[in-house]
Chains A and B, each alone.
Chain A
Amino acid sequence: MLNIEIDGRQLQAEEGEMLIEVADRAGIYIPRFCYHKHLSVAANCRMCLVEVEKAPKPLPACATPVTDGMKVFSRSELAMDAQKGTMEFLLINHPLDCPICDQGGECELQDLAVGYGGDRSRYTEEKRVVRDPDLGPLVATEMTRCIHCTRCVRFGQEISGIREMGATGRGEHTTIGTYVQHAIGSELSGNIIDLCPVGALTSKPFKFAARSWEMADVASVAPHDCAGSSIRIQTLRGKVERVLPLENNDINETWLSDRDRFSYTAVNSGERLTVPRIRKKGEWQETDWATALQSVADGLLQNVAKQGADKLAGIISPTSTLEEFYLFQKLLRGLGSNNIDHRLKLADSRDDGRWASAPALGMPIKELESLDFVLLIGCNLRKEQPILNHRLRKAVLAGADVAVINPYDYEFNYPLSVRAVSSPSGMLQSVANIIRLLSDKLGHDVPEDVIPWMDPTRINQQHRALADRFADRNSKSALILGQLAWLHEEGAILRSMAKTLADMAGVSLGFLPEANGVAAWQAGCTPFSEQDKGLSVADMDAAEIKTWLLFGVEPELDAAHGGQLLAALNDADIVVAITAFASAGESYADVQLPAAMFAENAGTFVNCEGAAQTLSAATTPPGDAREGWKILRALAGYLDLPGFDFDTVSAIAAAVDAAGAPSPGYGMGSLSGYAKTEHAGGENLERIRDSLIYRGDAILRRCEPLQRTTDNPPPAARINPQQASRLGLEQDAKVKLMVDETSVETPVVLDQRVPEGCVFLPIGYLETAALPGSASVRLVRS
């Protein structure tokens, strides 16, 4: 520990710390623009100049390491003159357009100009003007305002890993912009809005919407990523205008994914349902709550009485709150049905009985940074969970290895040590082969149940490298299964093998839940959490379910088996949709009950590490729409179900038995009883199913700005160019994709990242929603 003095205060500092860090910790404010605690030191703005005893010139506090006995004066005449001089220079070229600048009121330059600037400029020459690059639908640019702090440039290099912003030219002609004129492709791009100390980079969806000081500000939790990032929801006269990150060093530091930042735009969507609706003779009719609830209750009770409770099923969105999950399952179980699920991305439910507790990351999010080796299986972490990926990227920069076994060669923003890309069935073989190699290495018997999937003739260098890495007991390693593992048609086998591998290697096994999935498990929104086993979402279609209760979902778009569910819903007697959007389920629902969505309802969010946090309501739902828990409670009343007398969300939360953080509780890895499936070749291609970052649920699909980003391509069947030439297909050729009797049409996109023998066809597109989920599809030219 070193002792230093700043402005007469005795302070302690660590060796190697910069002056500004010590000052910040002590609450001594030194003005700055380029310095940011999560970015490298640039020392280019020269705003933080301070006087240091014995130094001939003022020194930048951000780049001056502390030394023992150092005496610093941050507000002496010398320091203030230097700071004022810099401020005057910065204002020379900065336009005086604060009245029409969105940054006004929260502009670091404006704030500091009040303290350090003159009331008029002593310089009269013309200001410089800079052309604006188009950064796409999320970030608005006004580069004439840029003060060259380079925070956005450093963010690209150091945090998002995509160097999109950069400097060109030199001297006064230096401009900050993009090199190639294109929209930014980073899933963290919105952070440069927060980082920009002036109005050069502002939020496009928020443009000219409100002033920062006139908005109400509520702390909450972001509902889409399973990280549970801390956010601030800002509203003006009841309208949600903006979401900003709230610093939380355990979870999101100061960052926020674009998905969590801009998903509020759906709250203001024109598709919001504001009045209950009943379909009568094929026509939607608006009605009041009493009529709607009575008709739902009558319908549910009649059908249950007629067909039995096992023909009733409920699906709830994983973005719902713990309290909604609890009441939802309680209502269905009250009616006698255990057919309850939230796991829309689940394709293979054969291992349902093995879960001891909720699938979760298995470690605190922060701990990802300290791992030495991570194998991601079926996981495009960068787009699935940007905040978690950022932590892992930090680990890689610190020397960790990250490897993937994926069905598509996803682009990562850090180097991968092993990039094993193969068909979905090939992934099983890869894991099996690694188990074999690792057993040999460790002198264990090869697990017999895995043998059918092993193919010693196809052991390759990648398998060997991974087995070697797992054999290294000195590494802190983890195996993490992502969304593509849930969407895998033989996911149960993949999970079981992963468990075997993790146990054998003695490493942590994690599963990435969707959104608030951990809370759904804790609240019992799974078909097997209580006494009786019900049907999982993957099996509901085959059971001739006639009565459906949908909560915030569009199963045809959200689910791995969307095609089957769509057929079942079209075939149902009664579909009750509790939804925020009129267009959700519009074609097959019989009753729509208008629900609040995030930012409008309070509740509990449990993230992938098991941390429970409180979601706050920042505004009220539009029109007659109501919070989900209130709708469920009222409906239970109409159904005469007991035990729903809750008056607040906290009372519901107290009722949920959510003791302790869940560990990834996958019971055992055994494949006895599973058969190996052969995949036919020719026109039959294995289907790679993904759910793209901005198409995962009903809310995201209604976020107009996110829909216009480069991460939201039009629907297409992606196939390998070699495969395409064998099938006689060229780019943009129209093809028919067939599963049994059902077919959909879509254009072909040639994509080297797709393994041979496969077609990459994500879910979430209306155009292809009718296609049943299956391991393989037939592909022919239309």
Chain B
Amino acid sequence: MSENARWQSYRKVLKDNVFRRIQSGAGENLDALARELALNPSFTTGTASFYDYLQPENRQRKHWVCKGTACLVSGTCAHAGSRHADAGEALCLGYCYAGGGLLKRDNDGFSTWCVDAESIGQPAMPVFDLSSQGILTGAVASAKDLYSVALSQPDSIIAELETSALRGRGGAGFAFAFKLAACARETADQKYIVCNADEGDPGAFSDRYLLEQHPHKVMAGMYAAAIASGATDCVLYIRLEYPEAMRAVQSAIDQYRQWPDELSGRIRFHVTEGAGSYVCGEETALLNSIEGLRPEVRVRPPYPAQYGLWGKPTVVSNVETFANIPWILQHGGSAFAAIGTPASTGSKLLSLDSQFVRPGLYEVDFGGNLGELINRHAGGLRAPVKALQVGGPLGSIIAIDRIDDLTIDFDAMRKAGYSLGHAGIIAIPQNYPMIELLRHLFAYMAHESCGKCTPCRVGTAKAAAMLQAADKQPIDMALMNALLETLESGSLCALGGGLPLPVRNCLDQFRQELQPCFTGWEETP
């Protein structure tokens, strides 16, 4: 779409990033900024109006309380909210394991804090390695080695990744080597590797963990992808809600820059900070965001591998995906492929929220049993729970009595009618009404929809309004089904297209509870 603006933005590229300028310029004179950047005012205003933290009411704020799904269903945000009457809402700060989070802005910038009824602090994230190799959580002996292993085998990187059968960890589970090879095949004066560190799925804190504790694993993975595809610039798009991750990555980049030229001279790293928008986790919206355009989802084809950041061939993948790559290159693709199941190789990070007896981050090999993880390793639940939300708002809702039948594996979950998604796991307490969860899901998606395509823009908001009124005016089930159908088949991206799955999970498994809010249920199959 905005070819001109994209070109103007490209001229400034990452040095004087247009998006960064708009973020710092919001609230001041956006017209003047537009003139300075030689762009139309429409451009700066249109972009700034999109993001949560650039809204007028958020510019003066100092506190935001986490209202992510975990905090919402466990009720902790009510406590946190009582401490800061003027606080805004943050959508998941990744403190799900501790039961409540607070985002603070002071002279040093943003910081996040854990909040519970008694105290405010920053307790360490509990980490449990149940995997065979500890690929993701294991300690790193030498950060430099993570990079040099790629440098020593530039021509075999793609082949090793193909052998490893590494799948993207962002949710869709797409074969990573395929994307990388497609980008490598393109000829262009410039290519980019982009790390999607905009983990917006409430309930998942695995990316936060990796960025804060193992930034070099992630960066080295990007580095290898850059070498394999011929890219020279790597960009990490980190959400604003993870300021500590931002600082950790910054200092890792500083460290990287100190290294000898033969190691760090070829590939440059950059970071872009988000400004509060869940849809930026969608890869094409994320690219638009870095460019300073409105982060609306792009039409595919062309795919990012052909037409990505500033129209250049680009590999976009998730934090956890990249973090696997150094291990694969160190131990070989087949060693990786031997872990897990044939379809889902390697290990996976799972985030368990505060209602489990042992909440925290778990690394498990693919193929394990979900019930066993929860009941044995996580010690079960603190209070009665009726369902688990797995994989965030676009993941799935699993009735608690079904968890023993489920294998931690992309395809097995899919086959059972669920989705693993980003593997954040939130327990829904027995006393939490499912209708509230449905309201939350739709309200959240209506808030986060980019508004570009009709089904998602209209459907999410409409369903949210209908659910809000459902106590007094029960929803016709046939109409709900039609709405979900249009949302699923017509939406441009997974935001609208993925929402019907967890909603149907709820409707199917909690029919009895939801019955009073719907009519005509009997007639529908």
Contacts and interface: CB of A to CB of B under 8 A. Distances in A.
Interface of A: 40-47, 49, 57-58, 63, 65, 81-82, 85-86, 88-90, 92-93, 122-123, 125, 147-148, 150, 154, 157-158, 161-174, 178-180, 397
B188 interface: no
Contacts of A163: 2, 4-5, 40, 42-43
Nearest to B479: A122
A164 B446 CA distance: 27
A172 B458 contact: yes
Contact of B485 (A85, A92, A122): A85
A674 to B, nearest CB: 42
Contacts of B449: 170-172
A40 B449 CA distance: 22
A325 B43 CA distance: 49
Nearest to A56: B489
A170 B451 contact: yes
13 contacts: A46-B453, A49-B489, A57-B497, A81-B489, A125-B469, A157-B2, A157-B4, A166-B42, A169-B49, A171-B460, A171-B461, A172-B458, A174-B457
Contacts of B45: 166, 168, 179
A170 B490 contact: no
Interface string B464-486: 01100100000010010010011
A46 to B, nearest CB: 4
Given A171-B446, A174-B450, 11 more contacts: A46-B453, A58-B489, A58-B490, A85-B485, A86-B454, A86-B486, A88-B482, A123-B462, A150-B1, A170-B279, A171-B448
Given A43-B492, A168-B45, A85 B457 contact: no
B301 interface: yes
Contact of A148 (B42, B43, B451, B486): B451
A44 B50 contact: no
Contact of A173 (B277, B451, B459, B491): B451
B486 A172 contact: no
B490 A49 contact: yes
B31 interface: yes
Nearest to A172: B461
Contacts of B452: 42, 44, 148, 174
A128 B47 CA distance: 22
Contact of A171 (B450, B465, B490): B450
B299 interface: yes
A163 B486 CA distance: 32
Contacts of B455: 46, 85-86, 89
Contacts of B108: none
A92 B300 CA distance: 27
A673 B466 CA distance: 85
A82 B4 contact: no
Nearest to B300: A63
Contacts of A171: 446-451, 457, 460-461
A173 to B, nearest CB: 7
Nearest to B302: A65
Q: Which 6 residue pairs of A and B lie closest in terms of their CB atoms, listed nearest first? A: A85-B486, A174-B451, A172-B461, A171-B449, A166-B42, A168-B49
Contacts of B277: 170
Nearest to A161: B4
A262 B43 CA distance: 30
Contact of A90 (B3, B458, B469): B458
A88 B480 CA distance: 13
Contacts of B490: 46, 49, 58, 82, 85-86, 89
Contacts of A170: 49-50, 277, 279, 294, 448-451
A158 B7 CA distance: 13
Tell me whether chain B's interface is mostly helix, strand or loop, or mixed: helix
A40 B302 CA distance: 13
Contacts of A47: 454
Contact of B459 (A63, A81, A89): A89
Contacts of B462: 89, 92, 123, 125
Interface in B288-318: 294, 296, 299-301
A44 B284 CA distance: 14
B489 A82 contact: yes
Contacts of A88: 482, 486
Contact of A89 (B31, B446, B486): B486
A44 B453 contact: yes
Nearest to B486: A85
Nearest to A47: B454
B41 interface: yes
Nearest to A93: B458
B46 interface: yes
A179 B42 contact: yes
B448 A147 contact: no
Contacts of B43: 163, 166
B465 to A, nearest CB: 5
Of A47, A58, A122, most buried by chain B (CB within 10 Å of CB) is A122
B63 to A, nearest CB: 23
Contacts of A164: 42
A430 B354 CA distance: 77
Nearest to A156: B42
Most chain A beta-carbon neighbours within 10 Å: one of B41, B489, B491, B497: B489
A114 to B, nearest CB: 18
Contacts of B486: 82, 85-86, 88-89
Given A85-B486, A168-B49, A125 B457 contact: no
Nearest to B2: A157
B455, B458, B462, B492: most-surrounded residue (chain A CB, <10 A): B458
A49 B491 CA distance: 10
B479 A57 contact: no
Interface in B1-36: 1-5, 31
A148 B451 CA distance: 9
Nearest to A171: B449
Interface string B227-267: 00000000000000000000000000000000000000000
B453 to A, nearest CB: 5
A116 to B, nearest CB: 12
Contacts of A166: 42-43, 45-46
A184 B2 CA distance: 19
B89 to A, nearest CB: 15
Contacts of B447: 171
Contacts of A157: 1-5
Contacts of B300: 63
Contacts of B1: 40, 42, 150, 154, 157
Interface in B118-156: none
A146 to B, nearest CB: 12
B414 to A, nearest CB: 12
A179 B46 contact: yes
Contacts of A173: 451
A90 B41 CA distance: 29
B296 to A, nearest CB: 8
Contact of B492 (A40, A44, A92, A93): A44
Nearest to B466: A125
A182 to B, nearest CB: 10
Interface string B417-457: 00000000000000000000000000000111111111101
Contacts of A89: 454-455, 458-459, 462, 486, 490
B41 A180 contact: yes
B46 A167 contact: yes
Contacts of A58: 489-490
Interface in B477-525: 479, 482, 485-486, 488-492, 497
Contacts of A46: 453-455, 490-492
A172 B446 CA distance: 7
A92 B460 CA distance: 12
Interface in B45-75: 45-46, 49-50
Nearest to A89: B458
A157 B458 CA distance: 25
A183 B465 CA distance: 36
B467 to A, nearest CB: 11
